[in-house]
Amino acid sequence: MSPRLKKRVALVTGASSGIGEATAIALAEAGAKVAIAARRRDRLDEIAGRLRALGAEPLVLPADLLDEREAQRIVAQTEVHYGRLDILVNNAGVMYLEPVAEADLGRWRRMLELNVLSLIASTQAALRGMRERGGGDIVNIASTAGRIANPMGAAYSATKFGVVAFSEALRREVYQDGVRVSVVEPGVVETELRDHIGHTQVKDALNAWAGGMRQLQPDDVAETILFCVTRPPHVSINEVLMRPTDQER
């Protein structure tokens, strides 16, 4: 393992697959102690085994982050277990795409709560300790949908525009405390995220579009996150917008 993050503690949400899983592994390979949070305990246990094989000391935190108390709990448990939290990667999220006129508002409400409010709750819980220690990294995962709003993605874009705006406002609140805030906005990534789409026609169209390009892989995004949190203390990477080379919008 690389020593770049030795003695640093990270918490990754949505760590049971995709970007979260790849990020947990990348941080562990860089020497960090890593707490992993998600709903699926079986997947977390499997990933924890892979982290132990790397010599890491994973903390498994099953949690339903739709509950803001759970988002706060996982931060508290990480700090109790390891004695600190240096890196928070807010990756948990869902993507529900459908026409506004046909929208399931209950589903959209859950998306807003998970993609935005849960992220805010975990961030709020982490700030006190980071400020007291004089530093830390908060990395929020947004999307190109937080830059360009497309038909069928109104609510999803609203959540990701919200994450981008929240991240910039937060950065300006905490930069003097040595806390760095980064927002990473990937384009099309080959993950389970598209499986969440309940509208069959929209899902099929999106999969056909994505299938026609060389998609980003979770490791590509994980490497970007690792780059953000391994900069020297005087360097803060505030925003990274990344797309597959083949993606136009």
**Continuous H helices in 68-193:** 68-82, 105-112, 119-133, 154-174
> Which one from 82, 96, 156, 175 is the annotated catalytic residue?
156
Which residue, chain included where needed, has tokens 């905490």?
174
Question: Measured between alpha carbons, how far is 229 from 46 in angstroms, rounded to an integer?
Answer: 25
Tens digit of each residue's pLDDT (9 = 90 or more) over 168-216? 999 999 999 999 999 999 999 998 788 878 888 888 888 888 889 999 9
User: For residue 224, what are the CA distances in angstroms to 120, 131, 233, 237?
Assistant: 22, 24, 17, 10
- pLDDT per residue, tens digit, the chain (249 aa), is 568 899 999 999 999 999 999 999 999 999 999 999 999 999 999 999 999 999 898 999 999 999 999 999 999 999 999 999 999 999 999 999 999 999 999 999 999 999 999 999 999 999 999 999 999 999 999 999 999 999 999 999 999 999 999 999 999 999 999 999 999 999 999 987 888 788 888 888 888 888 899 999 999 999 999 999 999 999 999 999 999 999 998
H/E segment holding residue 29: helix 18-29
| pTM of the full structure | 0.95
As a whole number of angstroms, the distance between CA 209 and CA 188 comes to 10
Residue 82 appears among annotated catalytic residues: no
**CA–CA separation, 18 vs 206, rounded Å?**
18
3-state helix, strand, coil split of the chain in percent (to 5) is: 50, 15, 35
Strand partners, 10: 34, 87
CA atoms of 139 and 13, how far apart (whole Å): 11
Quick check: 136 and 88 in contact, CB under 8 A? yes
Chain mean pLDDT for the chain: 95
